[in-house]
Structure 1
Amino acid sequence: MSERAGVQFYRKEIELTGAVRLGLDLLFLCTVFFQARGALLGEIFPFGPAAVVAVAGRRPRLLWPAVAIATTGAWFGNPGTIYTSAFLYLLLGVIFSIYPVLRKAGVLTQGTVAPAAVILVKGLSLTFSQPSFYGWVQIIFEALLSWGLSCAFLHAAVTSRHEERYLGVGLFLLGVLLGFQGLHLFDLSLQGTISRYIILLAALAGGPGAGAAAGAAVGFLPSLAQIVPPALAGLLAFAGLIAGSLKTMGKVGVVGGFLLAHLLLANYFLGQDNVLTALKEGVVVALALMMTPSTLINNIERYFAPPAIVPAGSSGYGRHEALKTALKGMARSLKFTGFAESPEVTVRQVAGATCRGCPAGKVCWELEGMQMLTLLQDLLQKGDHGTLTSADIPEWLASRCGRTRELLAALTHEAVKLKGLAAENALADWLANTFDTLASLITTGVEEGEAEEQRLKLVVGTATIPRYQADVCGDTFMSAKLEAEKQLLVLADGMGAGREAAEMSATTVELVRDLLAAGFPPDKTLQALNMILLLRATREAFTTCDVALINCCTGAAEFYKLGACPTFILRDGTVKTCGSPSLPAGILEEIRIEPVYEELQEGDLLVMVSDGVLEAHREINEKEKWLVKALQRAGEGRPQEIADRLLKQARALANGRPRDDMAIIVARIERIGV
């Protein structure tokens, strides 16, 4: 069961002008050129077909330019087989042009086109030239690799799981780097230079672990292209480790650590003849890193550093402390009106980047997580009015934290960047101060009572995707434990799309979680949420809210909806919908809340979706029917697999161009111990 108490964090929205989009298309086609040129052991070329299939499936308007570019890359990579390669890429282009339905098919179906074309074209070529057992083994091996790479590339473009996205992007970069094999500029190897630049970026963004991992990965590249000793991997891994260890000193520290490690070990690993060349490459990439914009490095750093996760039901986090946190959260929501991001989202990102690798991190974020979260949000609010100093750090944290300077600098930077607008509504300002005062008057108490025996658990899967040509998903979801026996699922959809919608929905799920954890009844929680959204909005803004509360002792479930889609329950092949008509939060002062009660059983599948999923079907009468049919075919699959499959089908119904953000929560009720 997922016990994440955090929200689905989002990335900054990127405004894509026509010129920027054209530049990205050209850059992507350049990568196809090097993919087609890249070879394993000098004679296996699986990356080119996989890249063309990925273009056909995800960016079909670039299909024929990609075919031409891949053919050119094959000619530069292996001129002896240019006719076979050209016919192979031409066949792939013709197949996807004649059968456009393939563009809407699943990843496995699309990926199978690559190995089929490789076996057909290269098999016929081998049959008419010099048939041999080794030749057929080579063709089959190349076909299998092209199939795996095609699936990885296609899946990385739509998956909501970071691990799968990292794998796909990593394999894609591997093919690009292999395409630079043998290319030189002023006696410098382009492959070696670019590889070292990637190591420095990883070390600066992710620290010693990321630097060492990047060094080990790119160090094995030459041994993939030809049979050579992989000794370079050890050198680059050590250099990345040393460079990442000096991350706190910025670019100068990372570059200095990398060059120092290079100088110490290059003579031992590479020999005297290659030391000078390796150091030249190191100097070139050092200069390139110094000229790299800080914006790019910050984005990569956030990509490497996921936010700290704090369990909502942590031991010792009692009802009184939860109530205090909820009041402070409501106060912050009103005081931070106009900020570009939710304060909780911001401090989690700061903590993820600053506290990574700290020996005291386990104590701070696992034992005192809620206390840390509250303190950092208070410091962020204080930083909005001036620079933070060491005097702002309480003694209990200053006594063990060795990174207070970096932490204060990061919070001050975020506070200035997310400069808040003063609350225009005097009532909102008064309520914020009142909530703060009430929170300060509450002392932590000891709760008594014997908890019931928990016999059920929830296994949760989630999937999300922004609308077409948007980089920020406006839908936010959460799965969290409120008490020993209560499980919360909440899904919010902010008005519109982009950063403002994401900020509004993130605030919604945070407030719902805090108020319910503090003991507020669900109806009072949603009424308070509605009023706070009305007060904090500087213009018309609203959000839907879909709440499910499941008692894991009895199976009793409560559903509360504010403008949200129905909830779907699959049991023994039959799908039941649960919903109630209501308006979103933040529109009217008085809202009607009508809960729906259900008794869940072991094996039931619970599905919550945002309206972008249902509206993927253009027919009004089919909006719910298609999802019901899809669930009936789901069978006994894992919740994460079902969530990914539903999202993939919704995206296909929208012709690969979702008109609205999409988010899905799938939860299966299981018996504990099974």
Structure 2
Amino acid sequence: MGKSFNYYMNPLQERTMMGDQGVIEPFVQSLMKKLAYVFIYRGLLLFILGFMLGRAFILSTLSPFSLPFFASVYFIRKDRAHFALFGLLLGSFTISVQNVMYSLMIIALFLAFHRTLKGVVNNDIGIFPYYVFISTFIGRTFLHILEYADMTIYYALLAGIEAVLSFVLTIIFLQSIPLFTIVKKQQPLKTEELVCLIILLASVMTGIIDWKMFDLSIADIFARYFVALFAFAAGATVGSTVGVVTGLIFGMANVESLSELSLLAFSGLLGGLLKEGKKPGVSFGLLVATLLIGMYGTTEDPLQIHLIESSAAAILLLLTPRAITERVAKNIPGTPEFTAEQQAYMKKVRDVTAEKVNQYSSIFRAISASFAKQNEQMETEDEREIDYFLSNVTEKTCQTCFKKEQCWVHQFNKTYDSMKQIMTELNEQESLTGRTLRNWNEHCVRSRRVIEAIEEELSFYQANQKLKRQMRESRRLVVDQLEGVSQVMENFAKEIRREQENHEKQEEQLMNAIEAIGLDIDDIEIYNLKSGEVDIDIRFPYCDGMGQCEKIIAPLLSDILGETIVVHKESCTDFSKGTCLATFRSAKTFVVETGVVYAAKDGGFVSGDGYEMMELDSSKYALAISDGMGNGERAHRESQETLSLLNKILQSGIGEEIAIKSINSILSLRTTEEIYSTLDLAIIDLQDAEAKFIKVGSMPSFIKRGDKVMKIQANNLPIGILQDFEVDVVNVQLRAEDLLIMMSDGILEGKKPVENIDLWIKRKISEMETDDPQEVADLLLEDCIRSRGGQIEDDMTVLVAKIKHNLPKWTSIPAQPIRKWA
């Protein structure tokens, strides 16, 4: 008895609650697929539509539907045009043999025009309505002359009217026929396509306008059913539109049916307004509309006939499976089903995109690992290269020596090690030490010849090694770049998945809160609500530059979200009827205030030092100083190129260490000259003030915190000297009001008389009474120049940054309608 009654009832409840979804809906969907195959792919639907349109008339005389329908099917589905032709002829035959002959005549004229002018006219779809117009006019005129042996203005006018209607219907059918003949997924209907579809359905129903069953009009029942169906699927606007168009077509087909226009239009409107009551609500609206129009209308039929017809249409609506109503609603823009379908489609696209990006990231990472493995293999092959080298030497010298067996059999290790030692010394020092030369002369009878052979072979070996080093470095550059790109793509995939979140509820809450204080809002888009990463776009009417975003909306959002929100970007319209767009994001916890000063060697205009201050994203700030080798224009280009590469690589999202290695590889490979640059990089996280320092051949930096001055340094050679090096990263936790002082080597090397320049810099920084970054930079450079008697012997650059708490201009505004959500 430990399990409750609900436990045993859950399976039955689930089967019962599933209802249509569990049993009926799959059956309906399977049935719809089979019917779609039979009706659409096999052409049965075209035959039925052709049969109905072959019977359709306007004003009981004109039949402008046959040829436009056949011409549209002939253009869109030529392989199924014979089904449309058979249906049209059979439908015309139910009217009269004369109507069959007329349909055959105008279709034959159309085909004759099309075949004759096919090689002359290229734009088939644009010329088809004209073919139909000419064929219809000639056919109707010829029929009148043949029947009455005369041609009056009245008959000519009728022929012209029918030709014009055929022309218009061809354009309409060309847009609506594809909806029945081509099965597409995710096919929303445009407004003109919806109207064309309604006209086609109404035209088809005119073919059965004279069918009766127990004094009930079959056409009226289906017309009201279609109106109720569209009203239930898309609301009052679409429902009333369907009613008006259908009633108008019925009125043109039969003047007695013109009163149906008001009933259908009112039914669509009232049924759409009662859509929230589901199918019973729409059915009730249809019956109420029928009762009101029947009581006050001008129809000649008894009221009970209309009520029975509407009741039959309501029963058809109630019996319509949900799969069909949802399918209709999904194809009409503006409906909740359409929105949900689009969101599901976009989510699927985002999922597929994120998965593809992850796959590409894995590919890049695999390629990077492959290159790295090849580099490792090349490094292990260096010993083998030495063996090949010595083998070439012995081939030229030892093969013909009488002591070959004694040296390479009995004293192999000694001979091999001695030759390897000679090779190493000649390669590194270009000369042999006395001890090595003496030992080799004692060991080898052809010592001089062997040394000359080693020197000769060494030139090829060095060239080969240089090429291998360049290849290894090129591969290392590829490895670093591919690894960085892989990381960027992986982060991008995470961003894509993060944007899948639906914030409709929060968007509605925000709109209600803002409108509650009297501001008009057009639209709100929430992209991210994560703490510290809030990203919201708000569109509102023309505000005339009153600053309501910064003064009202941002403080209101700050109270709702529980963190400081600021205006990141604002775009205001220039005219009164336009809209403004503002982007709101989380405020940074800290901000950086900077100051910089530099001086060129000997007071020149071009400094070999360069500096850069950049925002990497919404929460990081980077400061960098680069010192090119030497002074003047060339050094300036070197430092600027280094900083430019750094900026572009960091902005792309690649990590700092990979960025430094990539820059080093690029600069070391681009030229054979010994050109290098130093780089002093500091990256500050504006959310927690943690700083990363990467110093590549640069001078120490200093942090002033109150009366204390701390030194930050790292041991890395300048960029471009070595092809391979490990980046040493120093992490330091900064605090508010800290001063960060970065400088080039010209500052530290400028105070020559002082033995410990670091202590002198620390003392100068600690003695400064100001904490303004620009003033600190100016004073430090001035003290350094004064200490050298006003001489500037090297390029000097000082960059100072002050860490400050970010204080918003406006306090938060309490939001009464809603509070912060979880």
Give the TM-score taking structure 1 as reference length. 0.46
More relative contact order in 1 or in 2 (CA 8 Å, sep 6+)? 1
Of Structure 1 and Structure 2, which has the larger fraction of its residues in helix?
Answer: 2
Q: Which structure: larger Rg?
A: 2
